[in-house]
Structure 1
Amino acid sequence: MALSVEKLKENFAKNGKTLAQWARENGYQPREVYLVIGGQNKAKYGRGFEIARKLGLK
């Protein structure tokens, strides 16, 4: 089951980690991750899709 964006943010807050930290640790630019989280990148293919999969959104 895919996580909702709200649940994802909640999990990050619980663990004391930022999305930017996660992005850097996984080889992405923070902006790419924020575009996926915010819905500007629909994450249907490419890096956006890869990011969404790793975050558990897809």
Structure 2
Amino acid sequence: MADTYAPEQACLEARKRLELRGISVKQFAEENGIHVSTVYAVLNGQKKCLRGEAHRAAVALGIKLGADQ
């Protein structure tokens, strides 16, 4: 079975983008209406990001493409 978790490099790049914008993970989560623990789990590669809030977080972080992209 293929590994469906976000690649580690994509997660590191997403963290770097947050850092460059000067916002915390908590602030990002609040701005996007996503639970902060979900954002941390996505950034740490602990969620598959296939559906629901984890998928929305991955799209908002730029880790995955959304349906409109």
How many correspondences in the alignment? 56
Structure 1 residues 16-55: aligned runs within 5 Å: 16-55=22-61
Matched residue of 1:9: which SS? helix
Q: Given the two structures, how large is their TM-score scaled by the length of structure 1?
A: 0.82
| CA distances 1:3-57 after superposition (whole Å, capped 9, x unpaired) | 8111111121122111110001111111010011111111011111111011110
How many percent of aligned residue pairs carry the same amino acid? Answer: 30
- Give the match for residue 12 of structure 1: 18
Unaligned runs of 5+ in 1: none
Unaligned runs of 5+ in 2: 1-8, 65-69
Greater C-alpha Rg: 2
CA distance in 2, matches of 1:49, 1:26: 12
